[in-house]
Amino acid sequence: MKNYYFILHAFLFATARLYSQELELPESATYDVGTKSFYISNVKSKNIIKQNEKGTKSVFAQVDAQCLGLTIHNNTLFVVADDQILGYDIKTKKNTFTFAINEAKQLNDITTDGNGTLFVSDKGDHNIYKINIKDKKYNKLLKPNSIKCPNGLYYDKASKVLLVCNTVDNSSIYTVDTKSGEIISQFATNYSNFDGLAVDKLGNMYVTSWSKDWKTSKLLQFGKTAKQPKTLLSNTKGMSDLDYNPLLNQLIMVFSFEGKIKAAFTNQIN
């Protein structure tokens, strides 16, 4: 009888372990060159999954909070987890950074300027938090009512500006001064519910757009000079965040409803 319970316990443990390694409502993904692995945030199972170059998945961190946006800075993986920003050492998996934003209403995406500053969007508060990693201090970047429901973020290192897309019926892409918070430009569209935002090495912008009923989504490409976007993918099942890796020259796409990610060369997306 003892052997039976031992085997049953081992089976249940192995099943739970396997289950926790699956992608359940993944939201964001990024790639680390050092470990040659993708890191993927899970909303449903409240963890971060590591997927190596062979496709093998393992639990990198069990967060016990809804995991959303991801970014890497100085070998630390930062994740938006409910009303907190958590940082994990890529090599040791240790939690090395914890920062709570008590006034946050609906945190979503995160990016970094590469010099010790994080930017985190808050859809519910219609603002973006600018966080100093070293001092653990923050301030609201935007002036009140300047961007409704900001979501996807991308920091342009060359121009030192922040690109922001928002989640509304007629979404826009904004260029924001990271010091003053002033809106430098707004590119308005007729597309709804922008979510993820990425830019490739040629300056092309990629945005995911959800239908107004939140059942389907599409991937749009905005060329540097094009006035109208090109639809690369349509009627997809829940495309959320995007990331671009310049070393791989690949766009990393997250399909939330399908529980998968895909990395593809920008000229081979289909």
Q: How far apart are CA 225 and CA 135, in angstroms?
A: 40
- At 216-226, the pLDDT tens digits run 999 999 987 66
> Predicted confidence band at 159 (pLDDT cuts at 50, 70, 90)?
very high
pLDDT value of position 20 = 60
Reference 61, options 77, 71, 48, 45; nearest CA is 48
> Predicted confidence band at 1 (pLDDT cuts at 50, 70, 90)?
very low
- At 7-20, the pLDDT tens digits run 333 333 344 444 46
Which position has the token pair 């430009």? 185
Q: Which residues have a Cβ under 8 Å from the Cβ of 110 and sit 6 or more positions away?
A: 68, 69, 70, 71, 78, 79, 80, 85, 118, 119, 120, 121, 153
Long-range pairs for 162-165: beta carbons < 8 A, 24 or more residues apart: 162/111, 162/119, 162/128, 163/197, 163/199, 163/205, 164/121, 164/128, 164/197, 165/194, 165/195, 165/197, 165/207
Asked if 23 contacts 15 with a C-beta cutoff of 8 angstroms, the reply is no
pLDDT value of position 100 = 97
Sign of CA dihedral 254, 255, 261, 265: negative
- At 225-269, the pLDDT tens digits run 667 899 999 988 899 999 999 988 999 999 999 999 999 998 888
What is the reported pTM? 0.91
pLDDT value of position 14 = 41
Domain boundaries, the chain: 193-270
pLDDT value of position 60 = 97
pLDDT more than 70, % of the chain: 91
Architecture label for domain 193-270: Beta Barrel (2.40)
pLDDT value of position 115 = 96
- At 28-50, the pLDDT tens digits run 999 999 999 999 999 999 999 99
